[in-house]
Every structure is written in structure tokens, then in C-alpha cells.
Amino acid sequence: MAVTFVLLLVITFAVVDSKVYDRCELARELKHVHEFPSQQIPTWVCIAKHESTFNTSAINPGSGDHGLFQISDLFWCSPPGNGFACNAPCSAFEDDDITDDIACIRRIFKEHTFLSGNGFNAWTVYPLYCAGDVSKYVEGCFDNDIDNNISQGTIQQPHSTTSEPDDEESVYEFPPLPTPPKKIKSNAVEQSNKPSSFQPVTTTRKPFKLRLQNQISTAEKILKTTSKPFEISHNIIEKYFATLFYFIEYLRY
């Protein structure tokens, strides 16, 4: 029994093969097997280099990232974690077969293209190491013609931000990211920052009935002092309607 268990354990570990890619090996595989656009390849190689140093079994237990491209279990795989968007266990991203990793990074890329206009923004190493000239990551990996083309392709914004995601794949809703804690402000600052709607409504306006009386008496005065009733000025009409309005309001009140 114990022997069987140990055997199973050995088999389990044997199945999860790890592999450390050579830089050009990865570049060629991305190009020829997975058919990534040429101009993206240096960036993907750069990301793999800085995320996992090309180790397909790399795990970051702190952040919950898995494999060559350090796919996060916050969003994309589980178990562990709660990610589900790539519909795979995270262990699938820790073996030496990167086919499923590639499917997942395509998805991540697409979602983040939709979100930010540049899918590579999903990787924290991207702005740090891979957003500039990344041609050195594929240097000497391809024959000159392709090499030149690839090297020239320092990454443009990969796709238009307005492109709709494919119909067959539903749009994945990101769970809200934890927000960094706010700086604690002093009470005084907090108070003054409060929207004014929280403050009690104070008004310098006269009570309603008093305003009404004022309006009516003003209108009366105007009417009395106007000797020619048919030459009622615009001003008087305005006052008259204001009075009428207040009177109607008064009745409703």
C-alpha cells in the first residue's frame, strides 16, 4: 500500500515535467508553432524572461503566479486561488507543455487590450523591462529577413481599443482589484472634504408665507402705480406670473 502511494507520488511528479527554455527556442516556438504576430515575439520573450527566467515550472507562492508567463490564480486559473477565466487548473501552467499557457496568455492579452488598449499591461514586468526596445530578446534567433522584421517591430499598440471581443468568448468581468489603502487624513481635512450635501441645509431665505406676501404686495403696488393698465411692461407681466405661481404654490402648501 505504502509502496503504491510512493509510486503514485513519483508518477505524479514525473508527469509534471519542468523545462527551462532557451531564449531563441521560445521565440521560434512562439513564431512557428503558436503563430504569434512577429512584432509581438520579442515582447513575449522579454516577459517570459523577467517573469520566470524561462522556467515553465516557476511558481510565485506570494503572488499566486504560475509558469513560464506567471499566470495569476487571482483571475485565470484554480486551484489554488479562485481564477477561472482560463478554465484550467494552475498546475496546467506549470508543466513543460506550454500549449495551454499560450491559450491563456492570448486570453489575458485580449482582455487587457480591451481594458487598457495594450494587452501586455497585464504583466507587471512589461512596463519595467519590456515596453522599450526589446529587439535583443530575439537577436540571432531568426534568419536575417525575419529577424530584421521582428527587430523593427518595437511594439505598437497591438490592437485598436474599440475592437469587440469575439462572440464565442464571453467578456470576462474582472473581480475588483484590491485598492491600496488611502492615506489617513487628519479629521479637519476629512471634514472639509466632505461633500456639502452632508451638511445641514441652511438658508437665508425668508419663510415661504413672508415671501408670498412680499410678492403679492409688490405686484399690488405696481398695478396701483401704473396709470395706463394697457401699457403693462414686460417687468409687470413677469411679476404678475411670479405672484400667480407663488399663490398656486401657497394653495398647494
Ligand X SMILES: *[C@@H]1O[C@H](CO)[C@@H](O)[C@H](O)[C@H]1NC(C)=O
**Minimum distance from residue 150 beta carbon to ligand X (Å):** 8
Q: How many helices (H) and strands (E) does the chain have?
A: 9, 3
Q: Counting contacts by CB under 6 A, is residue 122 touching ligand X?
A: no
Q: For residue 176, give Cα distances in angstroms to 11, 74, 90, 101, 179.
A: 39, 10, 21, 24, 8
Q: What is the largest CA-CA distance in the chain?
A: 118
Nearer to ligand X, 61 or 176 (CB): 61
Q: How far is CA 70 from the centre of its chain?
A: 19
Among 55, 87, 121, 135, the residue binding ligand X under the rule CB under 6 A is 55
First to last CA, the chain: 89
Q: Counting contacts by CB under 6 A, is residue 223 touching ligand X?
A: no
Looking at 23-31, 56-64, 74-82, 155-163, which segment touches ligand X (CB under 6 A)? 56-64
**Active site annotation includes 65:** yes
Neighbours of 190 (CB within 10 A): 10
**Minimum distance from residue 74 beta carbon to ligand X (Å):** 19
> Which of 203, 216, 201 minimizes the C-alpha distance to 247?
216
Q: Counting contacts by CB under 6 A, is residue 12 touching ligand X?
A: no
Identify the active-site residue in 29, 51, 147, 249: 51
Contact 94, 56 (CB under 8 A): yes
Contacts 24+ apart (CB under 8 A), 196-204: none
Q: Counting contacts by CB under 6 A, is residue 59 touching ligand X?
A: yes
Q: Counting contacts by CB under 6 A, is residue 222 touching ligand X?
A: no
* Strand partners of residue 65: 60, 72
Rounded Cα distance between 120 and 110, Å, is 9
Nearer to ligand X, 148 or 214 (CB): 148
Identify the active-site residue in 17, 25, 29, 65: 65
**Minimum distance from residue 37 beta carbon to ligand X (Å):** 11
Looking at 43-51, 53-61, 117-125, 235-243, which segment touches ligand X (CB under 6 A)? 53-61
Q: Counting contacts by CB under 6 A, is residue 20 touching ligand X?
A: yes
**Active site annotation includes 51:** yes
Among 149, 191, 214, 233, the residue binding ligand X under the rule CB under 6 A is 149
Query: Residues interacting with ligand X, by CB under 6 A?
Result: 18, 20, 55, 57-59, 145-146, 149
User: Would you name the residues annotated as active-site residues?
Assistant: 51, 65
